[in-house]
Amino acid sequence: MEKQFTEVRWHGRGGQGTVTAAKVLAETALASGKHVQAFPEYGPERMGAPLRAYNRLSANPIAIHCQVTNPDVVVVVDPTLMGSVDVTEGTPDNAIFIINTHEKPAEIKRKLGLGKAQKVYTLNATKIAFDTIKRPLPNTPLLGALAKVAGLIDMDDLISDLKRSFSKKFTEQVVSANLEAVKRAYEEVVGE
Amino acid sequence: MSTNTVAMTGNIAVANAMRQINPDVCAAYPITPSTEVMQQFASFVADGEVDTELVAVDSEHSAMSACIGASAAGGRVMTATSANGLALMWEMLYIAAGNRLPIVMTTVNRALSAPINIHCDHSDAMGARDSGWIQLWSENAQEAYDNLIQAVRIAERREVRLPVMVCLDGFIISHSIERMELLDDMQVRNFIGPVKLHYPLLDVDNPVTYGPLDLQDYYMEHKRQQADAMQLAKPVILEVGQEFGKTFGRSYGFFEEYKLKDAELVVVALGSSVGTVKTVVDSLRQQGIAAGVLKLRSFRPFPAKELAAALKSAKAIAVLDRADSFGAYGGPLFSEVRSALFSLEAAPPTVDYIYGLGGRDFGVADVNGVFDDLKMLAKTGKASQEVNYITVRE
């Protein structure tokens, strides 16, 4: 069955803003006229526990309501999960991986045993977050990387949506730190 | 894109419908996954966006009791619950319906304990199917929102005067962000209109009694009137659904027919799974297979004749039940659909699939499996087993 939508799977730990990232991705895609879904996998919710969140994005209405099992894009928010969770599970031959790590894409590709046509992009999102937001919240930098490499959202849309949604909750300083994080990630993300 | 197009969870969409409806009284007691509805609505109350008196109570039994009192007094009254919360309301559900009180309640469908499980199935609302409440079911956040607005009109119609339950799937819809459209506040208020009072308790010049003793002398006449009211709700549901369509562009009936007209292999289902079935139907149609879906919206009143007419030319039918009725011959939806089809001269062979209990995923492969079975059933006309469990380890 040919898919009429793009599916994204996020791997993170409770407290890292993974669910928020999926939400921001949906809102940004919506702002550019797309149809969207964003949903976390609900289990016992604890700080530090592994969790997954998902997106579906499409130019057309999305009716499907089952779990995402074959994601086109995988974002790993916490690199320590790669030892205990199979982040490659169900991914198609041409899947894109965006990994928060200091390691090089080729190294990650080897470690995960990925196929030739599967693409890996890496960035040190935690370091960017520490430098800018001053807290270990790699979610916003990863959105910047996603905007650069996945072709799902536009960087300008992302910036304006982050401004809009974060301004409701946070100080101007926090908002501008997040925007800086996104911009740096956009520049620093590297492929093979 | 309309400026009212938003990305919102089902729960927040429902809370926004409540904000626009601006009920007089809401009772609140939290239970996952419906908690967020009243939590968000409480913020609207605190921010002065509604005039509602929010009553925080000590249990769901008390929540429905507060709704009953406020509704009998003449108010427009709403609440929300799930699963065991709905079960705890049991006694009061019947009292709300028997007193003909137009309370509107959101039921965010969740599995009943034990074992404890917070995820979606339909066992909660299905258990309340005989309580005298109208039940409208929703496929997605948009429908939950639209259904809630229409529910107010249906419940308060003089010849109906029955409570309405609007069902949406727990987590799958309640906690998922989806694209949907919010209507304009004023347009919603105009659509529902002011509350029409019928025999309010607070009208001291015309005193009335609610819930008095009613023995062999009149009890049965009152039950008969309740049964009539359910039947009288049918044209009202259609009328309100059509008017909603004329006003806002999305029409509603008893059910949605998706590629059903010439369909040979048909799935009948409720709730969010219908979206997944539609996706599979699209793909089967591309392969030249005449597949279709009938999505039931109004389970109470049950549109037996209309449903049978819509299904009469199918060659094989699968009913999907997200609840079991233990010891019965199939799930609750199957029993009623099959019974409705029995009045046809040649009823299509119909089988039942009990699926997705406690939130068990119902994916594309599962739907394809159902349609594979239907292909065989259409050929042979007879199923080796009519009631089946799927998405389960045997």
User: DSSP assignment of B92-123, as one string?
Assistant: HHHHHHHTT---EEEEEE-PPSSSP--S--SH
Give the nearest chain B residue to A20 (CA atoms). B177
Nearest to B333 by CA among B359, B347, B351, B349: B351
| Nearest chain B Cα distance for residue A161, angstroms | 12
Q: Are A9 and A54 in contact (CB under 8 A)?
A: yes
* Cβ-based contacts of B362 with chain A (< 8 Å): 66
Assess whether B57 and B132 both reside in one domain: yes
Assess whether B187 and B170 both reside in one domain: yes
Q: Are A122 and A97 in contact (CB under 8 A)?
A: no
Residue where the block lists tokens 């619950």: B81
pLDDT at B178: 97
The model scores a pTM over 0.95? yes
- The tokens of A156 are what? 């300008």
| Nearest chain A Cα distance for residue B44, angstroms | 16
Residue B155 CA to chain centroid, in angstroms?
A: 13
Output Rg (C-alpha) for chain B, integer angstroms: 21
* Single residue among B197, B215, B248 that ends a domain in this structure: B248
**From CA B297, how far away is CA B280, in angstroms rounded?**
20
Nearest to A74 by CA among A108, A42, A44, A107: A108
**From CA B229, how far away is CA B234, in angstroms rounded?**
9
* Single residue among B193, B220, B248 that ends a domain in this structure: B248
Size of interface A-B (CB pairs under 8 A): 73
For residue A165, pLDDT beyond 90: no
* Cβ-based contacts of B139 with chain A (< 8 Å): 63, 65
Task: Please enumerate in sequence order all residues whose Cβ is within 8 A of that of B206, keeping only pairs 6 or more positions apart, or say none.
Answer: B199
DSSP B357: G
Task: Please enumerate in sequence order all residues whose Cβ is within 8 A of that of B49, keeping only pairs 6 or more positions apart, or say none.
Answer: B19
* Cβ-based contacts of A42 with chain B (< 8 Å): 118-119, 171, 175
B278 touches chain A (CB under 8 A): yes
B280 touches chain A (CB under 8 A): yes
Nearest by CB: A26 against B7, B173, B363? B7
Assess whether B142 and B262 both reside in one domain: no
* Cβ-based contacts of A61 with chain B (< 8 Å): 179
| Nearest chain A Cα distance for residue B178, angstroms | 5
| Nearest chain A Cα distance for residue B53, angstroms | 27
**C-alpha angle A180-A10-A108 in degrees, rounded to nearest 5:** 85
Nearest to A80 by CA among A97, A95, A96, A100: A100
Residues counted in chain A: 192
Residue B176 CA to chain centroid, in angstroms?
A: 18
Assess whether B205 and B70 both reside in one domain: yes
Assess whether B262 and B226 both reside in one domain: no
Q: Are B27 and B67 in contact (CB under 8 A)?
A: yes
Give bridge partners of residue B350 from the DSSP assignment: B317
Nearest by CB: A38 against B171, B177, B361? B177
| Nearest chain A Cα distance for residue B35, angstroms | 15
B169 touches chain A (CB under 8 A): yes
pLDDT at B225: 98
Assess whether B223 and B190 both reside in one domain: yes
Whether residue B67 lies inside any domain: the answer is yes
SS3 B268: strand
pLDDT per residue as tens, chain B (394 positions): 456 999 999 999 999 999 999 999 999 999 999 999 999 999 999 999 999 999 999 999 999 999 999 999 999 999 999 999 999 999 999 999 999 999 999 999 999 999 999 999 999 999 999 999 999 999 999 999 999 999 999 999 999 999 999 999 999 999 999 999 999 999 999 999 999 889 999 999 999 999 999 999 999 999 999 999 999 999 999 999 999 999 999 999 999 999 999 999 999 999 999 999 999 999 999 999 999 999 999 999 999 999 999 999 999 999 999 999 999 999 999 999 999 999 999 999 999 999 999 999 999 999 999 999 999 999 999 999 999 999 999 9
Cα-Cα end-to-end distance for chain B: 48
Nearest by CB: B275 against A2, A22, A65? A65
pLDDT at A83: 87
Residue A177: exposed, middle, or buried by beta-carbon count in 10 A (0-12, 13-18, 19+)? Answer: buried
* Single residue among B190, B218, B248 that ends a domain in this structure: B248
| Nearest chain B Cα distance for residue A123, angstroms | 28
Assess whether B222 and B199 both reside in one domain: yes
CATH number at residue B369: 3.40.50.920
For residue A44, pLDDT beyond 80: no
**From CA B109, how far away is CA B130, in angstroms rounded?**
17
Residues A36, B176: C-beta atoms closer than 8 Å: no
- In chain A, which residues touch B (CB < 8 A)? 1-2, 4, 22-23, 26-27, 30, 33-40, 42, 61-67, 69
* Cβ-based contacts of B6 with chain A (< 8 Å): 30
Choose the mutation target among A65, A157, A161 for the interface with B, i.e. most B CBs under 10 Å.
A65
CATH class of A6-191: alpha beta
Which CA distances in Å does B32 have to B65, B111, B139, B165?
Answer: 20, 11, 19, 17
Q: Give the strand pairing for A6-13 and A50-58.
A: antiparallel
Which strand (E) or helix (H) includes residue A167? helix A155-167
Assess whether B220 and B362 both reside in one domain: no
Tell me the residue ranges of DSSP E strands in chain A: 6-13, 35-40, 50-58, 73-76, 96-100, 119-123
**C-alpha angle B357-B360-B366 in degrees, rounded to nearest 5:** 105
Give the nearest chain B residue to A5 (CA atoms). B279
* Cβ-based contacts of B175 with chain A (< 8 Å): 39-40, 42
**From CA B163, how far away is CA B165, in angstroms rounded?**
7
pLDDT at A1: 61
Residue B368: exposed, middle, or buried by beta-carbon count in 10 A (0-12, 13-18, 19+)? Answer: middle
Q: Left, alpha or beta for B385 (phi > 0: left; psi -120 to 50: alpha)?
A: beta
Asked whether the bond before A50 is cis by omega within 30 degrees of 0, the reply is no
DSSP B50: S
Nearest by CB: B276 against A30, A39, A64? A64
Task: Please enumerate in sequence order all residues whose Cβ is within 8 A of that of A49, keeping only pairs 6 or more positions apart, or say none.
Answer: A13, A14, A43
ipTM of the complex: 0.94
**From CA B72, how far away is CA B163, in angstroms rounded?**
12
Assess whether B227 and B313 both reside in one domain: no
Give the nearest chain B residue to A66 (CA atoms). B363
Nearest by CB: B175 against A2, A30, A39? A39
**From CA B297, how far away is CA A173, in angstroms rounded?**
48
**From CA B333, how far away is CA B237, in angstroms rounded?**
20
Assess whether B210 and B293 both reside in one domain: no
Domain membership of residue B228 as a residue range: 3-248
B108 touches chain A (CB under 8 A): no
Residues A1, B283: C-beta atoms closer than 8 Å: yes
Residue where the block lists tokens 């007094």: B73
Number of domains in chain B: 2
Whether residue B56 lies inside any domain: the answer is yes
B6 touches chain A (CB under 8 A): yes
B111 touches chain A (CB under 8 A): no
- Name the CA dihedral angle for B222, B63, B177, A96, rounded to a multiple of 10 degrees: -120
Assess whether B260 and B243 both reside in one domain: no
B272 touches chain A (CB under 8 A): yes
Assess whether B21 and B118 both reside in one domain: yes
Q: Enumerate the H helices of B47-180 as residue ranges.
A: 60-73, 83-88, 90-98, 123-127, 141-156
**From CA A71, how far away is CA B235, in angstroms rounded?**
45
Query: With DSSP H G I counted as helix, E B as strand and the rest as coil, what are the percentages for chain A, rounded to 5?
Result: 40, 20, 40
* Cβ-based contacts of B176 with chain A (< 8 Å): 37-39, 65
Task: Please enumerate in sequence order all residues whose Cβ is within 8 A of that of B352, keeping only pairs 6 or more positions apart, or say none.
Answer: B318, B319, B321, B330, B331, B333, B334, B338, B386, B387, B388
Nearest by CB: A36 against B7, B274, B275? B7
